[in-house]
Amino acid sequence: MSALNDYVNAVDRNLIGIERRKRREILRDVRSRILSLSEDYGGGEEGISRAIEDIGPPEALAKSYVECYGMLWKELLIVTLISIGLAFLSLPIIPFTTHSNPASLLFLPILMLYIAHNGMRYGVKSALVPALTSGILRSAMFSMTLWMYPFDLTSEPAMVLAVHVMSLLVILMSLGFPVPGRE
């Protein structure tokens, strides 16, 4: 059964951008398909090896499932754009103006929860792109706004540090979600 487990684990590692529940269902289906085929070849390790050969490489099988059930690049782009929008709204100063943003304290947790939701649903690789993009842009926009209006904006060093630390936390938070193959 070690060949079966190795094959199923290899398929799991390549199921990127598929919801966890759907991934578990796919892995059960792959396992039962191999076991069913192995019985046609006489069962045991020999039957499992021949069944695996018939099914093909785990990467190709996983790719076909990802094409059917995975998060498409368009969906990832939409998730990333929503994260960027929330990153803009979560800044204490409205980007490229001198106006403060009192609602920023509401949008930062919303941004973090949104990224967490996508990470729990699709895994770390699908959460990392929006988290990196929104975290880096959040810090960059804040720094550029302070640079553009150095005399109009008086920012406490603690606030500047807090914005950058929270942007870093948005990025680091995305690394805490399951990696396919290690659930």
The reported pLDDT for the residue numbered 179 is 57
Q: Are residues 40 and 127 in the same domain?
A: no
SS3 assignment for 68-86: HHCCCHHHHHHHHHHHHHH
Closest by alpha carbon to 80, among 105, 121, 123, 111? 111
Domain span at residue 104 reads: 73-176
**In the numeric block, which tokens belong to residue 33?**
């398909």
The answer, as to whether pTM is greater than 0.85, is no
pLDDT in tens, the chain (183 residues): 688 899 999 998 888 778 878 888 999 999 999 999 998 888 888 888 999 999 999 999 998 998 888 777 788 889 999 999 999 999 998 888 888 888 998 999 999 999 988 888 777 777 888 999 999 999 999 999 888 887 766 667 888 898 999 999 999 888 877 655 454
- Number of domains into which the chain is organized: 2
Q: Are residues 95 and 64 in the same domain?
A: no
Which of 43, 69, 95 terminates a domain? The answer is: 69
Q: Is residue 181 part of a domain?
A: no
The reported pLDDT for the residue numbered 149 is 82
Give one word for 55, left, alpha or beta, with left for phi > 0 and alpha for psi -120 to 50: alpha
Q: Are residues 29 and 8 in the same domain?
A: yes
Q: Is residue 183 part of a domain?
A: no
Q: Is residue 109 part of a domain?
A: yes
